Amino acid sequence: MATQAGTADQWRQQLDQQPGAAEPLQQLASELERREAWEELQLLIQRQRPFCDGAEGLGTMLDYWSGRACLELKQPDQAEPLLRRAARQAPDFPFAHHLLGRALASREAWAPAAAAQERCTQLQPEFAYGWLELARAREQLGDAAGAIDAYTEAATRLPGNRWLRRHLDALQVSSQARSGHHQAAAEAIVRLQASGDVGEATLTGWLELAVTLACCGDWGNVLRLAGAIRQGAEQAARPSPLSTRVPLTLLGLAVLLAPGEARMINPAGLAGALSESLWLPFSGAEQGLWAGGIDALTMAAVHHLPGNGSAPTGETEPVEPARWPLLLALADVLANVFSRPDRAYALLQMGRASLVLDTPQDQVLQERLGLLALAEGRDLVARHHLDTIPEPNRSDRVRAALARCDLGRAGLHLPHDLASARGAANHLLRLFRLRPRSSRAREQLDQLLWKLNTRVLDDTGRLAQRSGPISAAQSLRRDGLALLAELTRSSLNPPGLAPLPPRRRASRRWLLLASSSLPQCFLYRVQQKREQLEAMDREVLILDVSACDTWGVASALLWADRLVVCRQPGTYPVLRAMEMARRLGIEVLVDIDDLIFDAEHFPPPLASYGGTISAELHRGLAMDAPLFSAPMELADGLIVSTLTLAERWRQLHPDGRQPIHVLPNLAPPVLRRDASEMAPRITQRQAAVPLRLLVSSGTLAHKQVWVEELAPALEELLQRHGDVQLDLVGSVEWPEHLHGVDASRIRSVPFSDYPTYLRHLSRAHIGLAPLEPGIVTDAKSAIKWMEYSLMGLASVVSPTATYRGDLREGEHVRFATGRQEWVAAIESLIADPQARIDLAQRAHAHALTLFGPEVGQRFWRELDGPTGSEPPPARRKLLLINCFFAPQSVGGATRVAQDRVRQLLAQGDQAPEVTVLCVDLDPWQGSPGPQGMPLDVHHWHGARVVRLGVPGKPWNWHHDGEVERFCRDWFDREGFDAIEAHSIQILTAAPLRVALEQGIPYTVVLHDGWWLSERQFLTTPDGRSVDPADPLSGLNPDASEEERQAALQRRRDLFDLLAGAQERLAVSERFAELHRRAGVAHVGVRVNTVPEPVAARANKRQPADRSGPVRLCMIGGMSVHKGYPVFRAAVQRAALGQAAAITVVDHRLEEDDPGYGLSWGGTPVRFIPPVAMNRMDAFYAGQDVLVAPSIWPESFGLVTREALAAGLWVIASDIGALAEPIEHGTNGDRLRPGSVEELTSILKRLTVSATTSPPL
C-alpha cells in the first residue's frame, strides 16, 4: 500500500509538471477507481480535462471515469450524459454500457437500461454484476423468464451472495404462481426454506399472494401456499411469525370460510398450533398483511358464520362443535397479535350463536367474550358475559375482570359506593393473594379509593349546601371517611406483604407534612417545629401536602423516622401517606391547633363572624370537622396547642388510646430577636406620643365581639381622647355604622409578611384581642397576647380559657367582656402611663417564660427521649440488589437471591441487617418525578424489601438517571456497609455507580451475559451466538455508527464498574471462565446450591410405567435462547408417535389456565402454565425425562440439577454449566448446542429402549 501511495504521488508530480499527460493520468485515475476514492477521482478529471483536448481515446476514458464518479456519488443526472458519450465513443467497452444501464435504472428507464446491460453481458459474459443489473431491469419490465435467466447467470458467478439466491428463488416461485402452477410453487417454497434462509421480504411476498388468493376465493391454492410456507419452516426448524403464525391464521380462516375445501384440516390440531405460535415475537410485517387483507377475511368469516342475520340464506354451513377451539385460538391471535379485540369478540360472538356447546365449553367462551369486551372498554357488556359463569366455576381471570367492571361502576353513586366498596376491596385483596406477581389488583384498589374519596367529599359537600340539616351531611361524610380510612389501611397492608416492625431507634429524621395556605398556622405549627427540632440536632423535611397525590411521597417516608401531619384534612392522599408511614414502621403524629375537628362546636355561629363570611362558606367550614377528625383518629399520637383541645378530644374519644401532647405556640425567632431589642426600650416606647391602640387579626372569624363591643368602645375612647390613634392590622375593618371618629385617626394595614407585622406592633402602645366567649376561643392559643407582650405592648384581651390559665388580671393583662369593660380597661391604661409601662414590662418577662425556646426543647426531649447521638448500629448493614423478589419470584437469579437472603439472616447474632432493593414486576404507581421515586416496602423473613415502581425499559439499557438520583440520596442516608448485586437489568447499573462514587464496597454476582453484551443471553433473536469478548457481536449487521459507539461505551461503563467491585462472583466455574475470556479480571466463583428439600425428591419418585409412553418435559421457556425451536424440530423429526408424551411449560399462560394441546409428528404435546414451586415435586413425579436444549452458555442450570435430584433422566446442552452434573449415559445425555440431529437421535433411542433397559 505504501508503494502504491508513493507511486500515486509520483503520478501527481508528473501531472503537475505536464498537465494532461496520458500515461500518469490513466494510471492515477485507475488507482483512484480501484480505491473507490470517487471525490478525488472527480476532482482529478475536472482539473485535467482542459489539458486533454484532442488526445485520442483519452477523452472517452475521462467521460467514463467522471461518469462513474458521479454515479457512485449519487449524481446520476450528471453521470448519464457522460456515460452515454463514453459508450457511444467506445462501443466495445463493456463497463461503460454497464454504468450507463445503472444510470438509466436510477430514473426507472428500464427498457434502455436492459439494452445497455445486454450489450455489457455480450461483451463481457463473465461480469456477474452486468447479469444482475440486467435481471433487475427485466424484472421491472415484467419479463419474469428473462429475469430468472439473468439472475441464474449472476448466481453462478456470485455463489456466496445470499440475497441473490433468495431473490432468485422468490422470483421463481412468483413466476410459477403467476403462471397458475401453484402446486409447483408450493413445492418450491418447501424446498427453498429447507435449503436455506428465506428472507422476510420473500416470505411477505409469498404471503401477500396467499392473502390475495384468499380474498378472491381461491381457497384451494391458499391451502397449498400457506401449508407449504409453514411446512418448509417446520422442516427447516426455523419457525417465525411470518412462516408460522400467518400461514396458520390463513388456514384457520379457510376452515371457517371454505369448510368443504379445508375438510382435511384437523381444527383441534390447528387450534393448538395457533395457540403455540403466540410464543413467537410480533413482526411488523404481520400488521401489513393484516391491513392488506387478513382483516377483511376475518370480518368475512364473522359474517359467514351461521346465526349471523347478515349472511345470505344457503351460503353458510353449520359449524362443527370440534371447531370451537379453533375459534378461541383465532380470537387469541386477533386480540394479542393484531391488537383487535373487537374483531376477536365479533368472531366468538357469532361462533357462539352457531355452536352447540356443553356447559363448561360455554363458560369458557363467555369468559373469553367478557375479557375481550373489557379490553375494548365495554364494562357492561363484559359483566353481562362474566355474570353467567357460576361463582364456583370462575377463574382468577374472571374474578379480576369482574373487579375491573366494579371499578367502572365505582365513583358514580355514593350510596352504592358505601355499600359495595368494602366487598370490592376485599375481593381485590383476595385476587392479589392468589396472584401476587401481578400488582393490577392493588392498582385497581387504589383507583377505587380515589373514586370513593371524590364521591364522599363532593356529594356530601353538595348535600350540605342544598339540603338540611347539615348534621345529616356531616354524618354521611363521617361514615364515608371512616370507610375510606379502613380500606386505605387494608390496601396498604395486602396479604403476603408484611409491614415493617415499629422502629425502635431515636427519631433523627422528622418529616412534616404541611401546607402553607394559612401563613400564621404554617409559621407557628410548621416552621416553628423545624426550628425546635433542628436546634436539637434533628434533620427536618417540610413536605407540601400536594406531594401525597403521587406515590413519590414514599421516598420521603423512607427517609423519615417520624411523620407529623400538620393540620391536614383526611382526604385519601393524606390517609394513604399516613398508612404508608405506619407500614414503614414510622410513628405518625397529627398536629392540630384549632377546634376544627369538633362538629358540635365548630365553626362558631355565623353571627360571630360579624358579616365577614357567607352562609355558604360557613356551611363548608362545618363540613370540615369530619375531615380533620379522620387523620386524628388514625394517628398514633396527637400534638395540640392548648389544654382545651386535649380535653375536648378526650371527651369525644374517652377510650384514651392515643397519647396527647400539648405544645403551645411559641415565639418565632424573628419575634424573639425583636423582643430582645424591645426589652430595654419598653419605658421609652410607652412614653412616645401619640398613643396608639392596635387591633390585629389573621382570620375572618371572631368578629362579633369586635363589631358589637370593642369597636363601639374604641369610638367612645377616640372621641374622648383626641390625640389617640388606632391601627387595624390584617383582617379587621372599621364597622361602617360607626361614624363618630375622623377616618384619618384610623389606619388600616393589610397583612403582608411577619416582620412587617412586627414593625406595626412596635409602633403601638396597647394591644387589643377581642374573642367571642365559648369553647372555640377557649381552645385558641395565646398568640396575640404573646406577640403584643414581647413587642412591649400592654394588652387588653377577652378572658378565654387559655388566657385565664396562663395570665393574671392586672399583673400580665387586662381582661374585658362587654363594651363598658373594654372602655374601662383601655381607659385605665391610657390614663395611667406608669401602670401601662409596668403592665407591659411584667407581661414581656412573663411571655419570655411561657413562650421561650426552652419550652419547645423540653417538649421534644420528653416526646423523643435524650438528645445525645445514637450509638452505632450493632449489626452490619447489607444491601442486596436483584430485579425481582418475593412474592414476585421470577427467574432463577431471583431464587438464588432469595436463598442468599435466608442464608445471611440465618447467621444468628452475626446476621447483618439486610435490605433488598428490587423493582415491581408490574409497575403501577406512576413514574418517578419531582416528588420522588414511587416505591413500596415490606418485611420478608427478617429483611426489609424496598420495591421501586420503575417503568419498564429495554433490558440492554445500562443506566437510569432516576434510579441513580434515588440511590444517591438513599445510600447516603442509610449508610450501607456493603452491597451485593445480582441481576440488575431493570434497575440498571445505576446503584453500583452510586456505590462506587460513595465508596461503598460492592460485590457483583454474575448470573447472565448482561454485563458482557446487549444480548443478555448471548444469543441474537435468530439464534446466532454472540461473542462475549466482542461488544459489537450482538448488533445487527446493519447497525449504525451511533449504535456501534453506544455498544462500545456500554462495555466501557460496565467493565469500569466490574473493575471497581470488591468481588466478581460467577455462579459456576464455567461461567467464570467465560467472563475471564471476555476480559473481566479476577472472577471468583460462588456455586449456586439446589435447595435442601429437593435432594429428597428422588426417594419419593414412583417408578416409571415401562408399558406407557416416555414422559418428556421442557420447562425452561418457549424462547430461542432456551432452545425451544431445537426441541420442537427434533420431536417432529423423531416421529415418536405414541411412544412419547410431551409437556411444555408455556410461561404466557396464567396459573388457572387449562392450557392447550397439539401433535408433533403424531406425538401428543400438552402446554401447561408455569408450575408453582410448592407443586414441583408432584410435577416431576409425573415425568421421566427433562429436556433442556439451551443454546446460550447457561450460568448454572438450576432446572437440570433439580430434575436430576428428583430422579429424572436429563438431556441438556453441553454449554455453560447447564450439563455439568450430567454423567453422560448414566443419569442423562449431553447434547451439542443447537443440534437438532443429536437431539432427534437421543429421543429416538430413549423411546425405543424405554421398555427394556435403564435409565427410564
**For residues 633-645, average pLDDT:** 95
Last residue of a domain, one of 490, 521, 552: 490
- Do 1028 and 1060 fall into the same domain? yes
Burial per residue of 979-1018, b for 16 or more beta-carbon CB atoms within 10 angstroms, e otherwise: bbbbbbbbbbbbbbbbbbeeebebbbbbbbbbbbbbbbbb
**What CATH number is associated with residue 199?**
1.25.40.10
- Do 899 and 960 fall into the same domain? yes
Question: Nearest 5°: CA angle at 80, between 76 and 81?
Answer: 140
- Do 206 and 172 fall into the same domain? yes
**Residue 346 covered by a domain:** no
| HEC assignment per residue over 767-814 | EEECCCCCHHHHCCCCHHHHHHHHCCCEEEECCCHHHHHHCCECCCEE
Neighbours of 1232 (CB within 10 A): 12
Q: How high is the pLDDT of residue 185?
A: 81
**Residue 864 covered by a domain:** no
- Do 1136 and 1235 fall into the same domain? yes
pLDDT digits (tens, 9 = 90+) for 393-402: 988 888 888 8
**Residue 142 and residue 148 in contact, taking contact as beta carbons nearer than 8 Å:** no
pLDDT digits (tens, 9 = 90+) for 432-481: 998 888 899 999 999 999 999 999 999 999 998 888 788 999 999 999 99
Neighbours of 109 (CB within 10 A): 16
Question: Which of 642, 675, 639, 678 has the alpha carbon at shortest distance from 659?
Answer: 639
**C-alpha separations of 810 from 549, 781, 795, 843 in Å:** 51, 20, 10, 10
User: Is the confidence at residue 739, as pLDDT, over 90?
Assistant: no
Tally of domains within the chain: 6
Q: How far apart are CA 1220 and CA 113, in angstroms?
A: 62
Q: How far apart are CA 12 and CA 77, in angstroms?
A: 29
Q: What would the grid cell of residue 744 be?
A: 384619618
- Do 887 and 834 fall into the same domain? no
Q: How far apart are CA 843 and CA 793, in angstroms?
A: 8
Higher-confidence residue of 1136 and 1091: namely: 1136
Last residue of a domain, one of 274, 298, 321: 321
Q: How high is the pLDDT of residue 29?
A: 84
- Do 513 and 650 fall into the same domain? yes
Q: How high is the pLDDT of residue 1093?
A: 46
Q: What is the DSSP string of 71-125?
A: HHTT-HHHHHHHHHHHHHH-TT-HHHHHHHHHHHHHTT-HHHHHHHHHHHHHH-T
Neighbours of 1249 (CB within 10 A): 13
pLDDT digits (tens, 9 = 90+) for 11-20: 888 888 888 8
pLDDT digits (tens, 9 = 90+) for 986-1014: 999 999 999 999 999 999 999 999 999 99
**Residue 330 covered by a domain:** no
- Dihedral (C-alpha) 31, 33, 37, 39: value to the nearest 10 degrees? 120
Q: How high is the pLDDT of residue 868?
A: 45
- Do 839 and 963 fall into the same domain? no
- Do 296 and 437 fall into the same domain? no
Provide the percentage of residues in the chain whose pLDDT is more than 90.
62
pTM for the model stands at: 0.85
- Do 1067 and 1185 fall into the same domain? no
**What CATH number is associated with residue 1115?**
3.40.50.2000
In terms of C-beta distances under 8 Å and separation of at least 24 residues, what long-range contacts does 689-692 make, across chains too?
689/723, 690/723, 690/724, 690/725, 691/721, 691/723, 691/724, 691/725, 691/765, 691/766, 691/830, 692/724, 692/725, 692/726, 692/727, 692/763, 692/764, 692/765, 692/766
Q: How high is the pLDDT of residue 326?
A: 92
**For residues 1053-1074, average pLDDT:** 96
- Do 246 and 389 fall into the same domain? no
**Residue 345 covered by a domain:** no
Higher-confidence residue of 511 and 56: namely: 511
The parent domain of residue 928 ranges over 877-1085
**Residue 955 covered by a domain:** yes
1091 confidence band (pLDDT: 50, 70, 90):
low
Q: How high is the pLDDT of residue 483?
A: 96
- Structural element, H or E, at residue 347: helix 341-354
Q: How high is the pLDDT of residue 770?
A: 93
Provide the percentage of residues in the chain whose pLDDT is more than 70.
95
Output phi, psi for 102, to 5 deg. Answer: -65, -40
- Helices (H) then strands (E): counts for the chain: 53, 27
**Residue 976 covered by a domain:** yes
- Do 951 and 973 fall into the same domain? yes
**Residue 949 and residue 987 in contact, taking contact as beta carbons nearer than 8 Å:** no
Sequence-separated (6 or more) residues with CB below 8 Å from residue 80? 67, 100, 103, 104, 107
1095 confidence band (pLDDT: 50, 70, 90):
very low
Q: How far apart are CA 1073 and CA 986, in angstroms?
A: 26
Residue 468 burial by CB count (10 A; 0-12/13-18/19+): exposed, middle or buried? exposed
867 confidence band (pLDDT: 50, 70, 90):
very low
Q: How high is the pLDDT of residue 310?
A: 45
- Do 476 and 553 fall into the same domain? no
**Residue 794 covered by a domain:** yes
Q: How far apart are CA 117 and CA 94, in angstroms?
A: 9
pLDDT digits (tens, 9 = 90+) for 1171-1181: 987 889 999 99
**For residues 691-703, average pLDDT:** 84
**What CATH number is associated with residue 630?**
3.40.50.2300
**Residue 17 covered by a domain:** no
Last residue of a domain, one of 266, 297, 321: 321
Sequence-separated (6 or more) residues with CB below 8 Å from residue 1096? none
User: Is the confidence at residue 1255, as pLDDT, over 60?
Assistant: no
pLDDT digits (tens, 9 = 90+) for 357-375: 888 888 999 999 999 999 9
User: Is the confidence at residue 825, as pLDDT, over 90?
Assistant: yes
**For residues 727-740, average pLDDT:** 89
**For residues 864-875, average pLDDT:** 58
Question: Which of 285, 297, 114 has the alpha carbon at shortest distance from 217?
Answer: 297
**For residues 231-241, average pLDDT:** 85
Question: Which of 585, 579, 537, 536 has the alpha carbon at shortest distance from 560?
Answer: 585
pLDDT digits (tens, 9 = 90+) for 246-259: 999 999 999 999 98
User: Is the confidence at residue 865, as pLDDT, over 70?
Assistant: no
**For residues 1139-1145, average pLDDT:** 95
